[in-house]
Chain A
């Protein structure tokens, strides 16, 4: 082998690098070896086998050791060889033994001692060096391999440590897990179980390993869903999860969540089963659920509707009552009315959210069956975790009962006022019936009123109110829901709205029950003086077929109206259209009400009787007035007789004279003139009598009083001037037109002016004036005449009283009558020698005829 080849094997030129450590006891031999190796390029260090030989070998990097193992072998050399091969750092170092020959024992001993090669003495130097070179190459190879193996071993050892850590870590985790963890094979045999499982089944590791899961759990544990899940994992490789499985462990009533995970381990399907003891959570959850259910029951059972409203005003949640009220009972109008509250102009939801304050609302709704329900809303903010209001809780209570009670109290109070103040029977009947039907205190659909006819001893239908058909009822209810008038308003309107006399009213007007007939419910009510509540007329023996046919109602109540122990009538009411059941409370209230009504009817009857008496009185008075009139007529007749007798006597007398002495033409002419005058006088008297006696009710028309005065004054002015009387007229132009009979009032003025003229024979002044005096128009006619003596003042307006030569005594009487007929007054102020003033007062708002 060439050097270069060797160098290649060693990777480097051996000659320069190879160091040889030679141990040879024989100095000659040592020399030879040293020489021959050095000649071959080795760097040789040679020594006798002494104590320090091995240490040098170890301390310096030699490539080969050449040891003298010749027989008889030096134990020190054997020792060195063994130490080399026993030393892990040097075991790679190739050892060449120098043997005495090539005896087999010697060779065996050398190999036994660990030598790698040998040369037998004598050897050529070539032989030694070639072998040495080969050995060096092998040694280097071995050294490199050893180095590598050592490094690998080191790495493996490091990995092993890591794995150990990991394993410990995993074990720690697995054993510290509260969940029971199991690895099962396909037969459910336990391959692994963690501490938690051991604890759960109360066994140690050895008792569990290799046992079947079924033997460790409760007998029925795997018959249920857990078994199914395990099967599914084994067969289909499907993971599974069972929540809240109870009765898995025999020991205690524990509740577990189980998770089944199929795993592949070494190509074998296994199952990882995790059991979480969730007993406490489950109990807590159960508790919470129970509490929630309880709360829910309360919330649902409470007689108030609850809902949760979001900031967008949508209803997010509602309790059962809410659904019942605004879904079923009161239907669309109910929900619409509720929504109207929530959506009302003030935006209450927004307000509650903004202010965080509780808001109250009161509202009402007419249900589809015509009942009015009253509600009270409480809107309260619901706060989020930061305490900011973000939703609104609406608590709605049905306060109809309270409202109804208040209304009932009001009803009775108002009734006692209205009823006692109502004396006209028809109006009273209407009030009673309206009270029974309107409002929601009683709120019957229909009501019928019968009163006792004492003459015939019957109960007669007097009046009925209520819709005559279902359609009408619904129309009225719909109307009512838009304008909810209070009872007070309704009662106030009683007078203004006339009784329309619908079919119901006409029907009841024709009914008359004999008082003593208990077969009919109406007289029975009166006879027993007891309310009769009929729930099912069809089967009730108190109700006749005739009644059913007439009233068409199956459930009604009939109550007596009693006053001072006597039945004055019967009130009958039903809910034909709404079908609302009549409760005992309704009956009680209606009875109470009928008591009031009875008293009022009694009052009204007394009043009616009083009216009758009054009318009789009035007739008597009229008769009296008539007779007085007759007396007046008699008196008048006497006056007329007197007044007529004078002219008649005169006429008769002169006529006879003329008859006796027709030739005395002068006399005849004069007498004829006198007769003519007297006839004219008779005619005057006749006219005055006619004026007084004619039935002159004034024909009232809006009239400008001032214009009438001016007209009279204009006409009379000439006469006045002829008597040297100055006329002063002073009129109040602000007087409105008043309701008078202009002709009659003008007649009064003419009479007064005439009187004034007569009282001023020597002339004087006449003042006519008008002015307003409070609610009256005042007209004054004032003269500067002789005046009226006090003793005749009280007679001056009497018919036929006169102070005048040719007066009829009727002027002032007629004038006074006219003013009286106008609802006015006439006053008189007079002073002897100074004058007289007549003052007429006429109402500005004249009587309407």
Chain B
């Protein structure tokens, strides 16, 4: 069973993502900040991280590079309110970029797509 880590400083979103992805059959960890996320990555070795960019303290881009520095195999989906971050070259190292939305269909399909590719690969 694939293991996901959702990083978002928004508590309610954490709850939403956790429930939705668990329903999809993933094991889901949530982190409210970058540092918390790095600890969980180290501890639980998630297959995929859904990462919010705009966060107090360490932002998503920084978390992204640190996660990748730890483990390059971890897939990362940037999930943010900003469309502009697409222009930051760091985001290129992410596997996908999904704009936050009340409809989680896109995010869910991207997660599945990436994990499928990973399992096949």
A650 and B57 within 8 A (CB): no
Pull 28 A–B residue pairs with CB atoms less than 8 Å apart, ordered by A: A642-B80, A642-B81, A645-B101, A646-B10, A646-B81, A647-B10, A647-B12, A648-B100, A648-B102, A649-B13, A649-B16, A649-B100, A650-B12, A650-B16, A651-B102, A652-B101, A652-B103, A653-B16, A653-B102, A655-B102, A656-B103, A656-B104, A657-B16, A657-B20, A674-B16, A803-B56, A805-B9, A805-B32
**If A644-B81, A646-B13 touch, does A657 touch B19 (CB 8 Å cutoff)?**
yes
Most A-side CB within 10 Å, residue of B10, B15, B20, B32: B10
Residue in A642, A647, A656 whose beta carbon sits within 8 Å of that of B54 in the complex: A642
B88 within 8 A of A: no
Query: CB-defined interface of B86-121 with A at 8 Å, one 1/0 digit per residue?
Result: 000000000000011111100000000000000000
A638 within 8 A of B: yes
Query: Which A-chain residue is minimally distant from B11 (CB atoms)?
Result: A805
B3 to chain A, nearest CB (A): 21
Chain B contact residues, majority secondary structure: loop
Cα distance, A803 to B24, chains bound together (Å): 33
Cα distance, A654 to B56, chains bound together (Å): 24
Cα distance, A456 to B19, chains bound together (Å): 80
Count contacts between A and B, CB distance < 8 Å: 67
A802 within 8 A of B: yes
**In the complex, chain B residues whose CB is within 8 Å of the CB of A654:** 12, 16
Query: CB-defined interface of A250-286 with B at 8 Å, one 1/0 digit per residue?
Result: 0000000000000000000000000000000000000
B10 and A650 within 8 A (CB): yes
A240 to chain B, nearest CB (A): 139
Query: CB-defined interface of B9-37 with A at 8 Å, one 1/0 digit per residue?
Result: 11111011101100000000000100000
A804 within 8 A of B: yes
B62 to chain A, nearest CB (A): 13
**In the complex, chain B residues whose CB is within 8 Å of the CB of A350:** none
Residue in B20, B100, B103 whose beta carbon sits within 8 Å of that of A646 in the complex: B100
Query: CB-defined interface of B51-76 with A at 8 Å, one 1/0 digit per residue?
Result: 00010110000000000000000000
**In the complex, chain B residues whose CB is within 8 Å of the CB of A649:** 13, 16, 100-102
Known: A650-B16, A677-B12. 16 other contacts (CB 8 A): A641-B81, A642-B80, A642-B81, A646-B8, A646-B13, A646-B81, A649-B16, A650-B10, A650-B13, A653-B16, A653-B104, A655-B102, A656-B102, A803-B56, A805-B9, A805-B32
Cα distance, A599 to B25, chains bound together (Å): 89
Cα distance, A677 to B11, chains bound together (Å): 11
Query: Which A-chain residue is minimally distant from B53 (CB atoms)?
Result: A642
**If A649-B101, A652-B102, A804-B56 touch, does A643 touch B13 (CB 8 Å cutoff)?**
no
**In the complex, chain A residues whose CB is within 8 Å of the CB of B104:** 653, 656
A795 to chain B, nearest CB (A): 12
**In the complex, chain B residues whose CB is within 8 Å of the CB of A804:** 56
**In the complex, chain A residues whose CB is within 8 Å of the CB of B80:** 642, 645
Query: Which A-chain residue is minimally distant from B32 (CB atoms)?
Result: A805
**In the complex, chain A residues whose CB is within 8 Å of the CB of B102:** 648-653, 655-656
Cα distance, A106 to B9, chains bound together (Å): 218
Interface residues, chain B, with chain A CB atoms under 8 Å away: 8-13, 15-17, 19-20, 32, 54, 56-57, 80-82, 84, 99-104
Cα distance, A646 to B16, chains bound together (Å): 11
A765 within 8 A of B: no
Cα distance, A653 to B81, chains bound together (Å): 15
Query: Which A-chain residue is minimally distant from B12 (CB atoms)?
Result: A650
B52 to chain A, nearest CB (A): 8
Query: Among residues 30 to 50 in chain A, which have CB atoms less than 8 Å away from a CB atom of chain B?
Result: none
Cα distance, A674 to B32, chains bound together (Å): 17
A615 to chain B, nearest CB (A): 36
B105 to chain A, nearest CB (A): 9
B73 to chain A, nearest CB (A): 28
A821 within 8 A of B: no
Query: CB-defined interface of A672-685 with B at 8 Å, one 1/0 digit per residue?
Result: 00100110000000
A678 and B57 within 8 A (CB): no
Query: Among residues 656 to 712 in chain A, which have CB atoms less than 8 Å away from a CB atom of chain B?
Result: 656-657, 674, 677-678
**In the complex, chain B residues whose CB is within 8 Å of the CB of A651:** 102
A674 and B54 within 8 A (CB): no
B60 to chain A, nearest CB (A): 11
Cα distance, A805 to B32, chains bound together (Å): 9
8 smallest CB-CB distances across A and B, nearest first, come from A652-B102, A645-B81, A642-B81, A653-B16, A650-B12, A649-B100, A645-B100, A646-B10
**In the complex, chain B residues whose CB is within 8 Å of the CB of A678:** 12
Query: Which B-chain residue is minimally distant from A642 (CB atoms)?
Result: B81
**In the complex, chain B residues whose CB is within 8 Å of the CB of A646:** 8, 10, 13, 81, 100
Cα distance, A656 to B104, chains bound together (Å): 9
**In the complex, chain A residues whose CB is within 8 Å of the CB of B10:** 646-647, 650
**In the complex, chain B residues whose CB is within 8 Å of the CB of A648:** 100-102
A643 and B20 within 8 A (CB): no
Cα distance, A419 to B17, chains bound together (Å): 77
B31 to chain A, nearest CB (A): 14
Residue in B12, B15, B56 whose beta carbon sits within 8 Å of that of A802 in the complex: B56
Residue in A643, A677, A803, A805 whose beta carbon sits within 8 Å of that of B81 in the complex: A643
Most A-side CB within 10 Å, residue of B8, B12, B15: B12
Query: Which A-chain residue is minimally distant from B79 (CB atoms)?
Result: A649
Cα distance, A803 to B9, chains bound together (Å): 11
Cα distance, A678 to B10, chains bound together (Å): 10
**If A642-B81, A643-B81 touch, does A653 touch B56 (CB 8 Å cutoff)?**
no
Query: Which A-chain residue is minimally distant from B16 (CB atoms)?
Result: A653
A641 and B16 within 8 A (CB): no
Query: Which B-chain residue is minimally distant from A661 (CB atoms)?
Result: B23
**In the complex, chain B residues whose CB is within 8 Å of the CB of A656:** 102-104
Query: Which A-chain residue is minimally distant from B14 (CB atoms)?
Result: A650
A510 to chain B, nearest CB (A): 61
B15 to chain A, nearest CB (A): 7
Most B-side CB within 10 Å, residue of A638, A641, A645, A805: A645
Query: Which A-chain residue is minimally distant from B8 (CB atoms)?
Result: A646
B56 and A805 within 8 A (CB): yes
Cα distance, A707 to B118, chains bound together (Å): 67
**In the complex, chain A residues whose CB is within 8 Å of the CB of B100:** 645-646, 648-649
A801 to chain B, nearest CB (A): 10
Query: Which B-chain residue is minimally distant from A640 (CB atoms)?
Result: B81
Cα distance, A646 to B57, chains bound together (Å): 18
**In the complex, chain A residues whose CB is within 8 Å of the CB of B9:** 805
**If A652-B103, A656-B103 touch, does A638 touch B84 (CB 8 Å cutoff)?**
yes
